[in-house]
Amino acid sequence: MATVLETSGGDFPIPANDIGNGYRPSADEPFMNPRQQDYFRAKLNGWKDAIYREAAGTLSQLQADSLRESDLADRATSETDWSIELRTRDRQRKLIAKIDAALRRIDEGEYGYCEVTGEPISLGRLEARPIATMTVEAQERHERNERVSRED
């Protein structure tokens, strides 16, 4: 079946942690300076490229291995496996939209700042989740409010 990339406890593959020259953003430098922007742009583009490569592999595998099992149980297992694989690809398609939005925010100078409070998002959070749009505190508040509204 398809190749699985390393994940960070979530459902999505995580790109390499540096852009090839060993640079890592630091709190000792100005926040979202051009070097940090280039770092996160490369990280996001690498993540996106990895998703596209994996999707291409899934597509070629799907075309090569059409369901040929004659046994009903084997066929059901294969169909279930492909269903899971295709759901994963759909989630990754949605992730690409979030990556593209993050790249647009870099181009517009808004990347790394919370969309709710306007405060800088910690470099650690951006390193772990480069598509983050809120600080941890704002995200927790948002999730609490969402939970409360669902319970009503």
Quote the tokens at residue 64: 């090569």
Side chain identity, residue 7: T
The pair phi, psi for residue 120, each rounded to 5°, is -65, 140
CB-CB contact of 95 with 12 (8 Å):
yes
Is 7 a residue whose pLDDT tops 50? Answer: no
Mean pLDDT score, 115-144 = 97
CA–CA separation, 81 vs 150, rounded Å? 32
**Within its chain, how far is the Cα of 18 from the centroid?**
16
Check whether 11 has a pLDDT greater than 50: no
End-to-end CA distance of the chain: 43
* pLDDT (mean) for 97-125: 97
Q: How high is the pLDDT of residue 4?
A: 38
The span from the CA of 58 to the CA of 53, in Å, is 9
> pTM for this one?
0.75
* Cα(35)–Cα(42) distance, integer angstroms: 11
CA distance 147 to 50: 33
> What size, in residues, is the chain?
152
SS3 for 7?
Answer: strand
Distance CA 49, CA 100 (A): 12
Confidence bin at 138 (pLDDT 50/70/90): very high
